[in-house]
């Protein structure tokens, strides 16, 4: 397998590129994995792309809830395009090498989009909170201007922090193995390869994870505690079911994404393993984006009606 290192001062080898091992431990399944990931990627592009299109074309979906859903689907397409194409190329060519700069770039975009997803899910929870708990003021509170500002904020707020964190990680010396036991350049597997003390970077990872994972999750919990309290006070079972149906899809996505992301970044270092990291990353980088269009379309009558107009 191709490796490349550069001799530094003191006759120490400095890593100039990495090797993403990915699924190389399953040599007999390379063709099957290529086919499966290709189908999943196409499904994600089609499913999320269709949601973006119908929310733009159907006037009945020109509401804040579907504006944020279109942003979320666009995010999932970007999220997948940062990781899956590189994995497909590796499975097709069996060349798993990635340059130092390429690895840093992939990590940076991956972390930025991950932060965007956390905040966008929190914004979507706030939208449901206002719609259910303060319906009379909903058009005023969630005006088009406010929705655009919240969406832009979700997309850009993580950029400076995640660029800084990526620079911090890749400023470490990498003078040993360049074999990354993962299918993408994520922080935990890269830190395992760093030489010297990485405690400062590990503390930084926890602080950033608290800021971009724990804080949005707490805001989502606060929103849903108010939502559930309001729903339980509704007079009829039918009205309670209708109110809950408007946020159940979002709640399911929150559980899927935040559950796996929290375990990945906030669990103790002593409990980490490459296999577990890889499995969790598969869950929230590939499976969750694939299920999102189905979750939102199958559980939403407005989306189903819009789909029927396009696909008779």
Is residue 275 included in any domain, yes or no?
yes
How far apart CA 92 and CA 54 sit, in angstroms, is 34
pLDDT tens for 73-130 read: 999 899 889 988 988 998 898 888 999 899 999 999 999 998 999 999 999 999 999 9
Question: 108-112, 128-132, 231-235, 264-268: which has the minimum mean pLDDT?
Answer: 264-268
Task: Find the CATH number of the domain harbouring 294.
Answer: 1.20.1070.10
Is residue 211 included in any domain, yes or no?
yes
Is residue 106 included in any domain, yes or no?
yes
Euclidean distance between the first and the last CA atom of the chain, given in angstroms as a whole number: 51
Is residue 159 included in any domain, yes or no?
yes
Is residue 150 included in any domain, yes or no?
yes
Is residue 7 included in any domain, yes or no?
no
Total domains in the chain come to 1
pTM of the entire structure? 0.85
The alpha carbon of 121 is separated from its chain's Cα centroid by a whole number of angstroms, namely 10
Is residue 1 included in any domain, yes or no?
no
pLDDT tens for 160-219 read: 999 999 999 998 888 778 888 888 888 888 888 888 788 888 888 888 888 888 889 899
What separation in angstroms does the CA of 278 have from each of 139, 186, 198, 231, 269? 43, 10, 21, 39, 15
Is residue 206 included in any domain, yes or no?
yes
Which range of residues forms the domain containing residue 244? 14-310
How far apart CA 101 and CA 98 sit, in angstroms, is 8
């Amino acid at each position: 397998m191709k490796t490349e290192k550069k001799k530094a001062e003191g006759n120490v080898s400095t890593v100039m590129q990495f090797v993403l091992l990915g699924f190389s431990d399953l040599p007999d399944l390379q063709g099957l994995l290529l086919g499966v990931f290709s189908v999943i990627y196409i499904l994600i592009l089609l499913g999320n792309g269709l949601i973006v299109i119908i929310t733009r074309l159907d006037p009945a979906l020109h509401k804040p809830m579907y504006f944020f859903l279109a942003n979320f689907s666009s995010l999932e397409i970007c999220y997948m395009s940062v990781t899956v194409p590189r994995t497909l190329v590796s499975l097709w060519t069996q060349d798993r090498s990635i340059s130092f700069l390429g690895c840093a770039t992939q990590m940076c975009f991956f972390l930025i989009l991950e932060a965007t997803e956390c905040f966008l899910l929190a914004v979507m929870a706030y939208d449901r909170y206002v719609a259910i708990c303060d319906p009379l003021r909903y058009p005023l509170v969630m005006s088009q201007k406010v929705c655009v500002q919240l969406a832009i904020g979700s997309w850009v707020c993580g950029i400076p922090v995640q660029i800084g964190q990526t620079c911090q990680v890749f400023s470490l010396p990498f003078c040993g193995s360049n074999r990354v036991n993962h299918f993408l350049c994520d922080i935990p597997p890269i830190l395992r390869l760093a030489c010297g003390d990485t405690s400062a970077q590990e503390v930084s990872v926890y602080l950033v994870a608290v800021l971009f994972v724990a804080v949005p999750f707490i805001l989502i919990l606060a929103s849903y505690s108010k939502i559930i309290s309001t729903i339980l006070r509704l007079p009829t079972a039918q009205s309670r079911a209708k109110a809950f149906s408007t946020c159940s899809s979002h709640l399911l996505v929150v559980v899927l994404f935040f559950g796996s992301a929290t375990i990945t970044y906030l669990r103790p270092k002593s409990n980490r393993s490459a296999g577990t990291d890889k499995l969790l990353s598969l869950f929230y980088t590939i499976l969750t984006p694939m299920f999102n269009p189905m979750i939102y379309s199958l559980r939403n009558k407005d989306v189903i009606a819009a789909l029927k107009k396009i696909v008779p």
